[in-house]
Amino acid sequence: MNWLRRMMYGRYGSDQLNVAMLVLSIALLLVSRLLRIRIFYWLSFILLVLCYLRMFSRNITRRHEENQKFLRYWFPMRERWYRMTDNLRDCRTHRHFKCRNCGQKLRVPRGRGKVSITCPRCGNQFLGKT
């Protein structure tokens, strides 16, 4: 195991972009096996090779910049996904509104009819049907 530690010294290693590329590669490999389409197999293979090239690269600053660019796009998509799943989980018990003045998201219990909603951030009042 010491030989692996010596070999990886000065190399970039794994990061979030490598993990995402590996997961996408496995997904493409499964799709290629199910649908028997060779192009997905080759795309999966290319992604896997790129993943290993990034992992064993000595150009750490360039790999870090690539990872930061990926994270700049990944985090907003992840937040949007979490918000959507939270809204779906709450959809039977609560109704979600957005303040027209400041954009704050508000959660109101369902089944109350027409209610006056007051934004806690800016104090704006508006009517909403729950």
Split into its structural domains, the chain has a count of 2
Read off the pLDDT of each residue in 125-130 and give the average, rounded to a whole number.
Answer: 90
pLDDT digits (tens, 9 = 90+) for 16-67: 999 999 999 999 999 999 999 999 999 999 999 999 999 988 898 999 999 9
Q: Are residues 55 and 113 in the same domain?
A: no
Q: Are residues 11 and 44 in the same domain?
A: yes
Cβ-based burial of 10 (10 A; exposed 0-12, middle 13-18, buried ≥19): exposed
Q: Are residues 86 and 97 in the same domain?
A: no
Q: Are residues 84 and 38 in the same domain?
A: yes
Q: Is the pLDDT of residue 130 over 90?
A: no
Q: What is the pLDDT of residue 109?
A: 92
Range of the domain at 121: 93-130
Q: What is the pLDDT of residue 73?
A: 94
